[in-house]
Amino acid sequence: MRPHCGSSRNRAARPTRELAGSLRERVLDALATVYDPELDEPITELGFVTCCEVGADGDVAVRLRLPTSQCAPNFAFLMAADARDAVRGLPGVRTVGVVLEDHMTDDEINAAVARDGRFADAFPGETRGELHALRDVFRRKALVARQAGVCQALLVTGATPEAVTSLRVVDLPEDAEVRRCLHLRAALGIACDADAAAFVLADGRPVAAAELERWLRMAWLVRTSLESNGGLCRALLERRSGLEEVAV
């Protein structure tokens, strides 16, 4: 029998009481590499994965639910398609079904994702191209926002603008935030080898000492925007989940 998530929602999509290395755990790990392109946070941490079922034959069923039915269709499509692609390549997985639920364009998106289609297949005639450019706009925002945090942390320890802007990638601390920055740089085609500048503008040019203050001020605003959007999404999703629990 094929696995299915049925109508039960808000089942914690976390690998609790599972054998290490079980297929479901690996599927969840793969889903954790799928980021909300607008917020640059994993969909698993945002609580968007409401169900993840793995059948004995390797058939995987995933359900996604966004904070509102009105979330932007392009980002919604990206998350559903990315989830499909992330799980599909895993050893032991035979089929993958990803379903976006309770969204204003769920019919269009689910049909396209199921038949392995592109965004233009979901909305024929309503797009000019695919979503690469859109995704890159938000990767640049995320890079700017995350670098601001890393940079600020160095400045509060007393580092001067000259010192900070002369740092190389190899000088940066090895933490998750820096790893994400480098991942974004690689995805954007911005140099990220050990000798590359530690802090770059959105277009990839190194930040100069003289422009550091202004860059940080702008970067901090981008960070505030991403964080507060994430906060708003979480608040709305909590409410949505709460309502469901009452209704069940």
Partner 1 sequence: MYEANGEKYFVMDGHIHFWDASPANWVQGQEKYAKGWIECFHAYQSLGPPETHWPLEKFQKYSEEDFVHDVFEEGKVDVGVFQPTYLKSWYSTGFNTTEVNARLVEKYPDKLLVNGRWDPRDGEAGLRELEEDAERYGLKGVKLYTAEWRDGSRGWKLTDREAEPFLAKCEELGITNVHVHKGPTIWPLDKDAFDVADVDHVATDHPDLNFIVEHVGLPRIEDFCFMATQEPNVYAGLAVVTGALMHARPRFFAKVMGELLFWVGEDKMLFGSDYAIWEPRWQLDGLMAWDYPDDDYSDYPRWTTTAKKKVFGLNAAKLYGVDVPAELRLPDETPAARDDAQLVEDSA
133 to each of 3, 116, 140, how far by Cα in Å? 35, 20, 11
Shortest approach of partner 1 to residue 216 CB, angstroms? 12
* Distant-in-sequence, close-in-space partners of 165: CB < 8 Å, separation ≥ 6: 197, 198, 199, 206, 207, 208, 209, 212
Residue 60 lies near partner 1 (rule: CB under 8 A): no
Among 35, 119, 199, 215, binds partner 1 (CB under 8 A): 119
Contact 63, 51 (CB under 8 A): yes
Backbone region of residue 142 per phi and psi (left: phi > 0; alpha: psi in -120 to 50; beta: other values): alpha
By beta-carbon proximity to partner 1, the closer residue of 33 and 69 is: 69
Residue 236 lies near partner 1 (rule: CB under 8 A): yes
Residue 131 lies near partner 1 (rule: CB under 8 A): yes
**Sheet of strand 95-101, all strands in order from the earlier edge strand to the far edge:** 49-54, 59-65, 95-101
By CB under 8 A, which span of 6-14, 27-35, 160-168, 232-240 interacts with partner 1? 232-240
Residue 129 lies near partner 1 (rule: CB under 8 A): yes
Return the residues of window 38-57 that contact partner 1 according to CB under 8 A: 38
Dihedral sign for Cα 39, 44, 49, 52, please. positive
| Cα(157)–Cα(185) distance, integer angstroms | 25
Among 6, 70, 175, 186, binds partner 1 (CB under 8 A): 70
Residue 35 lies near partner 1 (rule: CB under 8 A): no
Amino acid identity, residue 85? D
Burial degree of 194 (CB within 10 A; 0-12, 13-18, 19+) = exposed
By beta-carbon proximity to partner 1, the closer residue of 210 and 232 is: 232
Return the residues of window 165-224 that contact partner 1 according to CB under 8 A: 218, 220-222, 224
Among 58, 101, 123, 182, binds partner 1 (CB under 8 A): 123
Q: Which residues bind partner 1 (CB under 8 A)?
A: 38, 68-74, 102, 104, 119-120, 123, 126-131, 133-134, 137, 141, 218, 220-222, 224-225, 227-229, 231-232, 235-236, 239-240, 243
